Amino acid sequence: MPALETVLLVNAANEMRAIDQALEDLHRKYDDDADSREDYLTLAGRRLENIATLITVPASSMAGLKAKASALRLRSMIEDWDEHQQIAVSLADDLVRLDERAVQS
């Protein structure tokens, strides 16, 4: 069974992908009015929660590291320099903390 941190990070990265798609769909359907809709605001709030998880939860497994890295590759994250930088620094901190034996396997 994966560690709790792994589950949290993988779920956050996967949900980010799904939320980004849902937000894009709302923009396509409602154009400029999308971001004033309640469903849009709810999704945007969940997106911020997922970003916070990716920034604050340390990754100690390959799945957790990959989750953070995959979130960094999302177009919406690349466009959001501040949040992108915070996840990148968190990922770098995780890599620095890795035990050398973990990398060799």
Q: Compute how many other C-beta atoms are within 10 angstroms of the C-beta atom of residue 89.
A: 11
Domain ranges of the chain: 4-104
Give the Å distances, CA to CA, from 105 to 39, 41, 63, 78: 44, 43, 14, 30
Reading the chain (105 residues) residue by residue, the pLDDT tens digits are: 889 999 999 999 999 999 999 999 999 999 989 989 999 999 999 999 999 999 999 999 999 999 999 999 999 999 999 999 999 999 999 999 987 656 544
pLDDT tens readout for residues 62-91: 999 999 999 999 999 999 999 999 999 999
pTM, 2 dp: 0.90
| DSSP characters over 27-53 | HHHHGGGGGGSHHHHHHHHHHHHHHHH
Can you state the percent helix, strand and coil of the chain, rounding each to 5? 85, 0, 15
